[in-house]
Amino acid sequence: MPPGPSPRPDPAPAAAKQPRHAGHQAPGPGLIWIRPTPERPKRPTRDDIVAAAIELADAEGLQAVSIRRVAAALRTRPMGLYSHIARKDDLLDLMLDQVLGEVLLDQLPDDWREALRAIARHTRATARRHPWIIGALGQRPAIGPNGMRHREQSLAAVAGLDVDLFRKGALLEAVDAYTIGHVTMELAERETKRRERLSDPQWHTATRAHLQRLLDSGDFPHLAGLGLDAGLSPAEQQRLFDAGLEWLLTGFTTTPAGGG
């Protein structure tokens, strides 16, 4: 009998197959901080990607950030971003950490009160420039390099205090909570105007009639005493922030150890 056809070689195991676009292979899973960076910088670089995403978030809010939108801003294909990030969460972590670098002080004052005032003011100013970080801080741990530098600098600010670690930690938590809470209230009106695409005059017209009806009802006598134009100017907002922070720091020095 004539010999049969030669057997076809077995296909290569799936694990041995190389991806078609090896240069664009996405990094593996896990936190962005524990994965190696690409051996050679590719265009766009990671810094390019993060900068474009931050600019987009500053202009339109964090919900506007997507791989597709960032790639379009960089005039590249979305696949070009996957050399640096595996998913949108990676990008959000990198964005948050980049902005936390703006909170860091070049020089930490020696006095702990001055140091905490400076850190709080830097935090407030940063959040006003990048309002989206308020939401980001509530959704993801700030454990990137700049996030850890911020923690280290905050601990250095209170290192000389003659109190135990619990009181130092509680003080830093209180200052952070006060600062973020104050900025959240400051930005509420601005973010609503941005989200609804309203100019300042449009916002004023839209809300004034509504508030007037509420005050005319007689149900809000204390608010009525303030009038419709009781909004705080930027300078007044700064004074209010500084006053509250000063009361917080003074309260810490007058509260005995173990006191509530």
pLDDT digits (tens, 9 = 90+) for 136-185: 998 888 999 999 999 999 999 999 999 999 999 999 999 999 999 999 99
Determine the structural domain holding residue 190 and report its residue range. 109-254
What is the C-alpha to C-alpha distance for residues 260 and 244, in angstroms, rounded to an integer?
Answer: 18
Question: C-alpha 58: how far from its chain's center?
Answer: 11
**How many structural domains comprise the chain?**
2
Domain boundary among 99, 123, 153: 99
For the question of whether the overall pTM of this predicted structure is more than 0.75, the answer is yes
Q: Which of 99, 125, 157 is the last residue of a domain?
A: 99
Is 203 inside a domain boundary?
Answer: yes
- Give the domain CATH number at 191: 1.10.357.10
Render pLDDT for 85-116 as a digit per residue (tens, 0 to 9). 888 999 999 999 999 999 999 999 999 999 99
For residue 155, tell me if it sits in a domain.
Answer: yes
> Which pLDDT value is given to residue 234?
79
Last residue of some domain: 99, 123, 138? 99
